Amino acid sequence: MAGHLLANSMVVAPSIEEADTLIINTCGFIDAAKEESINTILEAAELKKSGSLTTLVVAGCLSERYADELRNEIPEVDHFFGTEAYESIIKALSPDLKYALLGERTLSTPSHYAYLKISEGCDRPCSFCAIPIMRGKHRSIDKARIISEAQSLVRQGVKEIVLVAQDLTYYGIDVNGERTLADLLTTLSDESGAEWIRCMYAYPSKFPMDILPVIRDRKNICTYIDMPLQHASTEVLKGMRRGITRRRTEELLDAIRSEVPNIALRSTFIVGYPNETEADFEELMEFVEQQRLDRIGVFTYSQEDNTYADILGDPISAELKQERLHRLMDLQKIISHEKNMAKVGSTVRVLIEENHNGEYQGRTEFDAPEVDNEIFVRTTKPLTIGSFVDAVVYDASEFDLFANVVE
Ligand code: SF4
């Protein structure tokens, strides 16, 4: 969207106060995201009322899903658009703008990393999820376009490309009936020029095992997978329509670890799904303790309109959900601390991301931006943001490492 607008002579204002047009790209995934989106729209509506804003545009998933309701409730908004409505947005902002003009991608992330979407939409039937309603059926993005976008990002200075999709593992199925993520990763590794390529959001059921040798053997593919498992109890997984059991999940994790022994595994879990009993939750705790995943994120269940699970209601109280979330994260803190302490004395390659008055902060290939651990490095020489250094870990906390740069 930003690439189209900038190519059409629009200019990004340095602050909201100096902008005459504001485009809010919303999320409508779960309650917390909807609340954040709505609060942002309401704040912008106040600016519109005060006259400091000429045009207010709302786009993205929330307005795809609730455009009518939002239009009635917040009349200050001039235009509501759904997902991928780039052409309509451009036309609405100025009839002179040309949709055909597309510039380089404009990054909203720091210049050394970028997210790269390889497909849109999802064909999975997860009972709790509204994404297929908002994003539609799965569509793979053309491989040549992905490669060219990756090369263009690298030309702009991007060192790390983070591959995203609703489900990375489905790549290719809509094109030729086959999962072709391994082929895409191989070509990206050969031709993109990126120093790091990272895989996020890999669905566990029917996981394409042929990506594992590619991850293991390619130096510029991070030894890392983010695989949202959502739960461990077979009963809850069945209720969630995830197409996998606890046993099959364990077999998959064993197979991944035996193929790529030092892989960092990240996962996310939902607590408080309507059929989750105390015993199911204890089983999840036991699974997390047994599996010792490198990173986990935990969400409380959010009942979403028109999903399969909607009719089950939301019988587990918010307090109990929060309690389960904290118990699981407290357990993971212990696991994460132990795993981090085991790294003391080792040498790691660090991508430098921030400079805090001479103390630098970065990440290793085992950590994704924004959601995973950080590493704080000490050095006697100035470092450049976006550069790589080798560093020896001398201490660790629950979620951070501390290291000295090898000079
Ligand atoms: S795979 Fe992910 S995006 Fe697709 S339905 Fe399941 S949770 Fe939603």
- Residue 93's pLDDT is 85
- Candidates 30, 119, 131: which one to mutate for ligand 1, based on the most atoms within 8 Å of Cβ? 131
| Strand (E) or helix (H) holding 115 | strand 113-117
Residue 226 beta carbon below 6 angstroms from any ligand 1 atom: no
Q: Indicate if the alpha-carbon torsion angle 361, 364, 370, 373 is positive or negative.
A: negative
Question: Is pLDDT at 251 greater than 90 in this prediction?
Answer: yes
Nearest atom of ligand 1 to the alpha carbon of 167: 1
Ligand 1, closest atom to CA 125?
Answer: 5
Which of 124, 127, 174 is the pocket-test mutation for ligand 1 (most atoms within 8 Å of CB)?
124
* SS3 call for 264: strand
Are 229 and 297 contacting, i.e. CB atoms less than 8 angstroms apart?
no
Distance from the alpha carbon of residue 202 to the mean position of ligand 1, in angstroms: 10
Which class would CATH give 113-341?
alpha beta
Do the beta carbons of residue 267 and residue 284 sit within 8 Å?
no
Element (H, E) at 189: helix 181-191
Q: How many CA atoms lie within 13 A of 224 on its CB side?
A: 28
Distance 230 CA to ligand 1 centre (A): 10
Closest CA to 59 of 1, 113, 19, 16: 1
Q: 230 in the Ramachandran plot: left (φ > 0), alpha (ψ -120 to 50) or beta? A: left
Residue 94 has a pLDDT of: 75
13-17, 82-86, 97-101, 230-234: the lowest-pLDDT one: 97-101
CA pair distance 240, 350, nearest whole angstrom? 38
Residue whose CB lies within 8 A of the most ligand 1 atoms, among 117, 129, 229, for a mutation test: 129
Residues paired with 295 in a beta bridge: 266
Percent of the chain topping pLDDT 90: 85
pLDDT of 91 reads 83
pLDDT (average), residues 1-18: 84
Q: Which CATH class is domain 2-93?
A: alpha beta
CA quadruple 73, 75, 78, 83: dihedral, nearest 10 = 0
Ligand 1 centre to CA of 228 (Å) is 9
Res 101: pLDDT:
62
The whole-angstrom separation of Cα 125 and Cα 241 is: 6
pLDDT digits (tens, 9 = 90+) for 275-287: 999 999 999 999 9
Position 42 scores a pLDDT of 96
**Please, which pLDDT band fits residue 181 given cuts at 50, 70 and 90?**
very high
Residue 103 pLDDT grade (very low, low, confident, very high; cuts 50, 70, 90): low
pLDDT bracket for residue 100 (50, 70, 90):
low
SS3 352: strand
Q: Whose CA is nearest to atom 8 of ligand 1?
A: 129
Q: Is the pLDDT of residue 83 over 90?
A: no
Spacing, Cα 224 to ligand 1 middle (Å): 20
Q: What is the pLDDT of residues 299-346, one digit of tens each?
A: 999 999 999 999 999 999 999 999 999 999 999 999 999 999 999 999
How many angstroms separate the alpha carbon of residue 69 from the centre of ligand 1? 25
| Ligand 1 pocket test target in 61, 65, 117, 126 with most atoms within 8 Å of CB | 126
Helix, strand, coil shares, percent, the chain, to 5: 40, 20, 40
Task: Look up tokens 């997978």; give the residue.
Answer: 225
Distances (CA, A) of 199 to 147, 152, 161, 236, 296: 15, 19, 9, 26, 15
From the CB of 124, is ligand 1 less than 6 Å away? yes
The Cα–Cα gap between 26 and 3 comes to: 18
What is the distance between the alpha carbons of residues 225 and 201, in angstroms, rounded to a whole number? 8
How many other β-carbons are positioned within 10 Å of the β-carbon of residue 41? 22
Q: Which two tokens stand for residue 334?
A: 């212990």
Q: Give pLDDT, residue 205.
A: 95
* Nearest atom of ligand 1 to the alpha carbon of 123: 4
- What does the domain layout of the chain look like in residue ranges? 2-93, 113-341, 347-405
Q: Which residue intervals of 228-372 are DSSP H helices?
A: 234-239, 246-259, 278-291, 318-341
Query: Whose Cα sits closest to atom 3 in ligand 1?
Result: 166
pTM of this structure = 0.91
Which residue reads 């969400």 in tokens?
Answer: 299
pLDDT at residue 17, rounded to an integer? 85
Provide the pLDDT for residue 102. Answer: 65
> What DSSP string runs through 353-370?
EEEETTEEEEE-TTS-TT
Q: What is the pLDDT of residues 49-69, one digit of tens each?
A: 999 899 999 999 999 889 999
> Is the Cβ atom of 122 under 6 angstroms away from ligand 1?
yes
Mean pLDDT across the chain: 94
Ligand 1 center–CA 59 separation, angstroms? 21
What's the CATH number of domain 347-405, 2.40.50.140, 3.30.590.10, 1.10.40.30, 1.10.3720.10?
Answer: 2.40.50.140
CA distance 382 to 395: 22
- Please state, in angstroms and rounded to a whole number, the distance separating the CA atoms of residues 278 and 321: 11
- Average pLDDT on 158-171 reads 97
**Phi/psi of residue 149, each to 5°?**
-65, -40
Q: Angle at CA 108, nearest 5°, toward 152 and 265?
A: 85
Q: Which atom of ligand 1 is nearest to the CA of 230?
A: 7
**Residue 43 reports pLDDT greater than 90:** yes
Residue whose Cα lies nearest atom 2 of ligand 1: it is: 166
CB neighbour list of residue 334: distance below 8 Å, 6 or more residues apart:
none
The pLDDT assigned to 8 comes to 80
